[in-house]
Structure formats: C-alpha cells, structure tokens
C-alpha cells in the first residue's frame, strides 16, 4: 500500500528531517538515502523499517538542515599545502600556466574529508534519528491504514458477489441431476420406440448414478465457501495478511476452475465465469495489502 510520513528533530546543534514513502510491491524493498555524516546508521534504519513494514517499496531519506560546513566536512590542510608546494616547484615554462585553481585542488582525493562523529555524538545521533524515523513510520502507517480500510471494503464487496453466485450454483446443482435423468429417459424412449423395446429401470438408474458421481461439485462448493469465510477472517485480523489473502485467492480460483470442469450446465458455467472475474479482481487488489 502507498503511504507517506515525515518527522523532524535536533541533536547536538544539527537538525534532522526524515521522509518515508511507500509504494505497492509484492515484497519488501528498502531504498535508504543518508548523508555521509549519518551513513553508519543504515543497518539500524533498515532493521527499523523491516520491523514495521512487511510489503512495499519503501524510500527513506534523511536530510540535514541548518548545518555549518565545519560540521559536515574538514579540509586536510597539510595535504593541500603539500600539493601547493609541489606545484610551486615546477619550473616556469612558456608552455605551462602556473595559476592554481583552488576549486580544482579541493576536488583532489583526500583533500576534503567527511567529519566522523565521535562515539558519544554517534550514539546521540542514533537515538534521535531512530526516534524521528519511528515517528515518520507511524504517520506512514496511519495513511496506509486509511487506504487499507478502503481496500477491505472493496475486497468484501467482491467476496459478497462470489457468495451470491455460489448460492446460485448450489441451488442449480440440485436440479441438474433431475434434468439429466429426464433427458436421458426421454432420449432412450425415443431410440427404443421403433424397436418396441423397454430399457431396464436399473440400467437407467445406474447411468444416472454415474453421471451424478462424475459431476458432483458439492465438495468444491463447500471448499469455496470455506475459503470465503477464511478470507473475511483474514481481512479482519490485525496482523499482516497480504500473503495469506493472496494464497486464499489462488485456492478460490482453483475451486472455481474445478466446478467449471465438472459441471455440465450452462447456467453454472456462467456463474463460474462471474466468480473467476471477481477472484481476479481480488488477486489484483491483494497485491496492495500488507
């Protein structure tokens, strides 16, 4: 599910701003952007994200605000002086321009170094950054919860349509066997009328029994009904149910396909097509559920 959260805080004269954004993803993926000063916090932040969010692509950004240059980086004056002295020893030549560009010198490796906080400052930074990160994550979860309520209502609507179609199938399946027996009896009577023969009732009953056993969908109906109940219970659970709902959706589709293959009735087939359409919508929406 999508969501957004932000929070700010200050420690040791440095202001921190955290932004957390989440977009839909079947799995969990964290993209963490940190300034060099706080790069040592990446593992702690990822653990915090994983502990609170189970699915989605999560973009985390930590920014420093109102920070002096002395806090962010230091210049290795000794190294810079050594470079300038070496350049000064180059003999003048008409082909060599001896003007020195300070900006180019600062771009040399090792001249500008990030300031690494000492152990005490680092611990204060860790506590404050994780604190405001938790606040930002809580706000993101609030937004996701609001979206989740809308998703739950939509999923339950699709399940309600499936339940109605399932009731039609259940009612229709009881009449299919009787209609088959009547059609079989009529067809046999027509074929034997000219021969002036009569089919043994026991043989006819055996054929009807074979058809009934082959086309019996009562177990599939019961399992699909059970899946609907499990789906509703999982929607109301407080834990992360996205993967469970995805699995139940697959099982619902499996039962619908079995009903379609076993039932020899056009009305039941139409109901199954409607059920499969609703299950496909459910499976699409479930990808957005944590």
pLDDT range class, residue 146, cuts 50, 70, 90: confident
Per-residue pLDDT, 118: 67
Both 182 and 249 in one domain: the answer is yes
Both 46 and 96 in one domain: the answer is no
- Among 66, 266, 245, which residue's Cα sits nearest to residue 155? 245
Report d(CA 29, CA 114) in Å as an integer: 28
Half-sphere exposure of 77 (CA within 13 A, CB side): 0
- Quote the domain boundaries for residue 183: 147-286
DSSP H helix total and E strand total for the chain = 9, 6
In a domain, 111, yes or no: no
Per-residue pLDDT, 177: 58
Both 238 and 154 in one domain: the answer is yes
Both 36 and 157 in one domain: the answer is no
In a domain, 158, yes or no: yes
The yes-or-no verdict on residue 71 having pLDDT over 90 is no
In a domain, 48, yes or no: yes
In a domain, 205, yes or no: yes
pLDDT in tens, 224-281: 999 999 988 888 776 667 788 889 999 999 999 888 887 777 888 889 999 999 999 9
Report d(CA 275, CA 166) in Å as an integer: 8
Both 153 and 266 in one domain: the answer is yes
* CA 131 to chain centroid: 26
Greatest Cα pair distance in the chain: 128
Both 159 and 224 in one domain: the answer is yes
Number of domains in the chain: 3
pLDDT range class, residue 38, cuts 50, 70, 90: confident
Report d(CA 252, CA 186) in Å as an integer: 37
């Amino acid at each position: 599910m999508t969501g957004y959260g932000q929070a700010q805080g200050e420690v040791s004269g440095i202001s921190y701003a955290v932004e957390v954004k989440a977009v839909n993803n079947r799995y969990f993926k964290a993209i963490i952007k940190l300034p060099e000063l706080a790069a040592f916090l990446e593992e702690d932040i990822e653990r915090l994200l994983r502990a609170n969010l189970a699915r989605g692509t999560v973009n985390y950004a930590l920014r420093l605000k109102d920070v002096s240059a002395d806090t962010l980086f230091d210049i290795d004056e000794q190294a810079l002086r050594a470079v300038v002295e070496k350049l000064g020893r180059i003999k003048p030549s008409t082909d060599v321009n001896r003007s020195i560009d300070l900006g180019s010198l600062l771009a040399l490796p090792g001249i500008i170094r990030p300031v690494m906080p000492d152990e005490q400052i680092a611990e204060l930074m860790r506590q404050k950054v994780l604190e405001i990160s938790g606040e930002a994550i809580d706000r993101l979860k609030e937004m996701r919860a609001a979206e989740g309520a809308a998703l739950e209502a939509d999923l339950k609507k699709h399940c309600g349509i499936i339940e109605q179609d399932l009731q039609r199938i259940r009612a229709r399946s009881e009449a299919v066997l009787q209609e088959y027996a009547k059609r079989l009896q009529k067809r046999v009577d027509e074929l034997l009328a000219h021969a002036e023969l009569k089919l043994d009732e026991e043989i006819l009953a055996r054929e009807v029994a074979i058809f009934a056993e082959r086309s019996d969908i009562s177990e599939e109906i019961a399992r699909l009904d059970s899946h609907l109940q499990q789906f509703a219970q999982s929607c109301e659970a407080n834990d992360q149910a996205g993967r469970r709902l995805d699995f139940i959706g697959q099982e619902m589709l499996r039962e619908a396909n079995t009903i379609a293959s076993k039932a020899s009735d056009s009305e039941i087939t139409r109901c199954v097509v409607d059920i499969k359409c609703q299950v496909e919508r459910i499976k699409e929406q479930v990808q957005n559920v944590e």
